[in-house]
């Protein structure tokens, strides 16, 4: 399978990184709103509250109502929820087994690493259709996007 790619404006990429820094040492999370074109375009964000009160430093979850709210926000902008982002505090921006166990196919999963409160690498992944692994997804950060 060819490597999929997505585009995002520098502004939105910085917002994801800032969200990760803001919630550090807890994980942040939110929805990626955009269009499933080729390449997939991220055109908006829908930041969410991490509902994992019991272990927010190494886990995140959102409720089905959060998912419905994100879907509604996307539709109002003529967009779709095309993925999700979250942070890995003091941990590499690579998906964990736990990420894979809970992932859906098709969605883009952006992970930002946050080390000692400062955002570091940002990566994106898609679950393979057989659920056995994630494939990396290239992120094209647009410097002069008008979004």
Partner 1 sequence: MPVKVIIPTPLRVFAAKHDSAEFPAESVGEALSKLTTEFGELRKHLYTEDGKLRSFVNVYVNDEDIRYLGKEETPVKDGDVVSIVPSIAGGLS
Asked if omega into 25 is within 30° of 0 (cis), the reply is yes
**Does residue number 91 form part of the binding site for partner 1 (CB under 8 A)?**
yes
- Which region among 6-14, 15-23, 51-59, 135-143 touches partner 1 (by CB under 8 A)? 51-59
**Does residue number 129 form part of the binding site for partner 1 (CB under 8 A)?**
yes
Query: Hey, what are 101's tokens?
Result: 């166990």
Contact between residue 63 and residue 51 where contact means Cβ atoms under 8 Å apart: yes
Nearest to 67 by CA among 78, 56, 51, 53: 51
Total number of residues that touch partner 1 (CB under 8 A) = 35
Q: At its nearest, how many Å lie between partner 1 and the CB of residue 94?
A: 9
Q: What is the CA radius of gyration of the chain?
A: 14
**Does residue number 59 form part of the binding site for partner 1 (CB under 8 A)?**
yes
Spatial distance between the Cα atoms of 49 and 27, rounded to a whole number of angstroms = 10
**Does residue number 119 form part of the binding site for partner 1 (CB under 8 A)?**
no
DSSP state of 105: B
Query: Which positions touch partner 1 (CB under 8 A)?
Result: 27, 29, 52, 55, 58-64, 66-68, 80-81, 84, 86, 88-89, 91, 95-96, 98-99, 102-107, 109, 129-131
């Amino acid at each position: 399978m060819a490597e999929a790619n997505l585009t995002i404006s520098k502004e939105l990429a910085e917002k994801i990184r800032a969200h990760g820094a803001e919630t550090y040492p807890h994980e942040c999370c939110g929805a990626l709103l955009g269009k499933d074109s080729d390449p997939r375009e991220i055109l908006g964000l829908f930041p969410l509250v991490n509902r994992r009160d019991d272990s927010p430093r190494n886990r995140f979850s959102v409720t089905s109502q959060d998912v419905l709210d994100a879907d509604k926000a996307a539709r109002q902008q003529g967009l779709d929820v095309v993925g999700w982002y979250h942070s890995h505090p003091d941990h590499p921006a690579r998906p964990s087994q736990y990420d894979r166990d809970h992932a859906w196919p098709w969605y883009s999963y952006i992970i930002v690493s946050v080390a000692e409160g400062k955002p570091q690498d940002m990566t994106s992944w898609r679950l393979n259709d057989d659920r056995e692994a994630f494939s990396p997804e290239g992120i094209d950060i647009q410097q002069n996007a008008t979004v």
